[in-house]
A = this chain, B = another copy of it.
């Protein structure tokens, strides 16, 4: 996948139940999660953990969310973090305070996990869309088009499955450069996936089968490369 590294979320609430529910849901969505049970611990954890998103309860022992938010906003390394307040419906005063204090958003309890997930996802959607907006390669007699996951060759259009496409796309993007199987795995499958290196061979086979044998060549003992004319 394209999430080179996981988005990190820090959940801060004094109610263990809520923390658990949020943690569970966030992890299921592929986020890396840390938790803290009060404001003081939140700040410490945030510094170590460097979260991208902080879900912050307002009413907490030791140090409430507003004060915590203020402190976090002072820390340069955490300035980019999104802070979302979790508030009980009736603490309206806090809504006002929240934004003065630098929160990016707030949601009212009871929390609907699904809605919260979408909202967090929305925060990062823009970037991922842009990444994909690159991507059309003309090389030799191939026209490789990321937007449609297709290869055009001599008028014929071939649609490739994801992994096969990514493989060809990656190699074609760096023509004449030899990549080892491990490098290909790392770049295309991602750094946190464990599959046998020989898996690459099979995908290479499939790609060659579909576009022809003359594009990807083997360098024995090293790996594969996309061959220029």
Contacts and interface: CB of A to CB of B under 8 A. Distances in A.
A35 B136 CA distance: 39
Interface stretch (A42-50, A57-65, A95-103): A95-103
B21 A194 contact: no
Contact of A178 (B147, B219, B220): B147
Contacts of A178: 147-149
Interface band, chain A: 35 or more
A110 B96 contact: yes
A192 B122 CA distance: 9
A201 interface: no
A207 B125 CA distance: 27
Contact of A115 (B21, B100, B162, B194): B194
A159 B30 CA distance: 33
A228 to B, nearest CB: 9
A198 interface: no
Contacts of A161: 219-221
A104 B191 contact: no
Among A30, A112, A113, A162: residue with most chain B CB under 10 A: A112
A224 to B, nearest CB: 11
Contacts of A18: 99
Given A21-B99, A125-B186, A177-B147, A162 B222 contact: yes
Interface of A: 17-18, 21, 25, 28-30, 95-96, 98-100, 102, 104-106, 109-115, 118-119, 121-122, 125-126, 129, 145, 147-150, 159, 161-163, 176-178, 182-183, 186, 191, 194, 196, 217, 219-222, 225
Q: Which 5 A-B pairs have the closest CB atoms?
A: A162-B221, A95-B110, A118-B194, A115-B194, A148-B176
